[in-house]
Structure 1
Amino acid sequence: MRKERIRRRKLIHGLELALLILLLLIIITSVILHLARRPLTQAEKTSQAVAQRYAKIDKSDHFFAVNVGRPTYTIAGRNQQKQPIYAIMSNNWHAVQIVRQASGISATQASQIASHRTAATVTNLGLTVEQNKPVWLVSTRNRQGAHQYVYINFSKGKVTKVIKNL
C-alpha cells in the first residue's frame, strides 16, 4: 500500500515536471518567435508611416519585403483619391517610388507567371526596383528543393531575369 502511494506520488511529480518543462518550452519558443519577427514588424510600421507621409496612403492593404541585394519595402494601399497604389521604398526609407497598381500586373498574376515559367512553387514575392523600374521579384522552389528568383517587369508582365539553383 505504501509502496503504491510512493509510486503514485512519483508518477504525479514526474507528470508535473514534464508539464512544467513543456510549458517553459512553449513560452521560450513564443518569445524567440516574437523577437525574430520584431525587425520585420518594425520595418512594416516604418514603411506604413513613410507611405502615409509621402504617398498619402490612407489605408494599407499589404506589405511586401524583398531582401535580395538591397532590402526594399513596398506598401500596397489607396491614396486620398481612393486610387490603388504601391509605395516602393529603400531600406533607409529615403527613396520612395509611387506606382499606380492599374499600370502593371498584380501580385497574383506575377505569381502565376513565375510558377508557370519555372514549374515551381512560389515561396515569396515582392515589388522592388531594378534600374529605376518596378519589378516583381518572385522566389520559387522546385521539386528538388532548389530555390530560384524570377524578375518580372511590373508594367509588361514579362520575365526579365531568372536566377536558378540557389
Structure 2
Amino acid sequence: MQRQRRMKKSNRRIWIITAIVVVVILFSGFIVFHQAESPIANAKTEAIEIAQNSAKMGKVTGFYSENLGKQTYYTVAGNDNRGKAIYAVIAKKGGKVTVVDQKAGMSANQIKTLIQQRQHPKKINSVAITLIQSKPYWIVSYMNKQNKLCFATLNYKTGTIKQLIQNI
C-alpha cells in the first residue's frame, strides 16, 4: 500500500516538473521572439511618427523597410492632410524625408504583377521603395524556381528593370 502511495507521489512530481519545464520553454520562446521583432516594430513606430510630422501624413496605409546596399530606408504609405496619396521615404542614417507622390509611379501590387510576369518567381519575399541618387525605385526580393534568392530594382514610374541580381 505504501509503495503505491510513493509511486503516485513520484508520478505527480514528474508531471509537475514536466509542466513547469514546458511553461518555462514556452515563455522563453515568446521572449526571444518578442526581442527579435522589437527593432523593426520600433523603427515602424518611429518612421510613422516622422512621416506624420515631416510629411504631414494623416492616415497611414502601409510600411516598407529596405536595406539593400549602403543605406536603409523606411517608407510609410498614406495620405497627407489634403488626402493626397504619398510615400514618405525616410533614410535611417540622417533621417532625411523624401515625399513621393503615389500616383506618379507604379503601386506595389503592379510591381508584384510585373515580376510575376517577367521573372516567374516561386515566391515574392518583399517589395519596398528605396532611393537611388534621390530618385525612387522599387526593390523586389524573391525566390526563383531553383529556390535561389534574387533581387530586382525597378524604375518607380515605368517598372523597367534597372538591375537584376540572381541566384544568390
> TM-score category by the smaller chain?
over 0.9
Residue 118 of structure 1 and its aligned partner are, at CA, apart by: 2.1
Please report the RMSD computed on the Cα atoms of aligned residues, expressed in angstroms.
1.4
Unaligned runs of 5+ in 1: none
Q: Is the 8 A contact 1:58 1:78 kept in 2?
A: yes
Residue 41 of structure 1 and its aligned partner are, at CA, apart by: 1.2
Q: Is the 8 A contact 1:119 1:142 kept in 2?
A: yes
Q: Is the 8 A contact 1:74 1:88 kept in 2?
A: yes
Report how many residues are paired: 166
Aligned to 1:150: 152
Structure-1 separation of matches of 2:91 and 2:60 = 18
User: Structure 1: which amino acid aligns with 2:67?
Assistant: N
User: Structure 2: which amino acid aligns with 1:80?
Assistant: N
Structure-2 separation of matches of 1:3 and 1:143 = 64
The alignment partner of 1:51 has SS state of helix
Q: How does 1:92-111 map to 2 (within 5 A)?
A: 92-111=93-112
Deviates more, 1:53-62 or 1:92-101: 92-101
Q: Is the 8 A contact 1:50 1:93 kept in 2?
A: no
Q: How does 1:7-156 map to 2 (within 5 A)?
A: 7-69=7-69, 70-120=71-121, 121-156=123-158
User: Structure 2: which amino acid aligns with 1:119?
Assistant: H
Structure-2 separation of matches of 1:165 and 1:3 = 66
Residue 24 of structure 1 and its aligned partner are, at CA, apart by: 0.8
Deviations 1:16-70 (A, max 9, x none): 2121111111111111111111111111111111111211001211110001111
Unaligned runs of 5+ in 2: none
Q: TM-score, normalised by structure 1?
A: 0.93
Percent identity between matched residues is 25
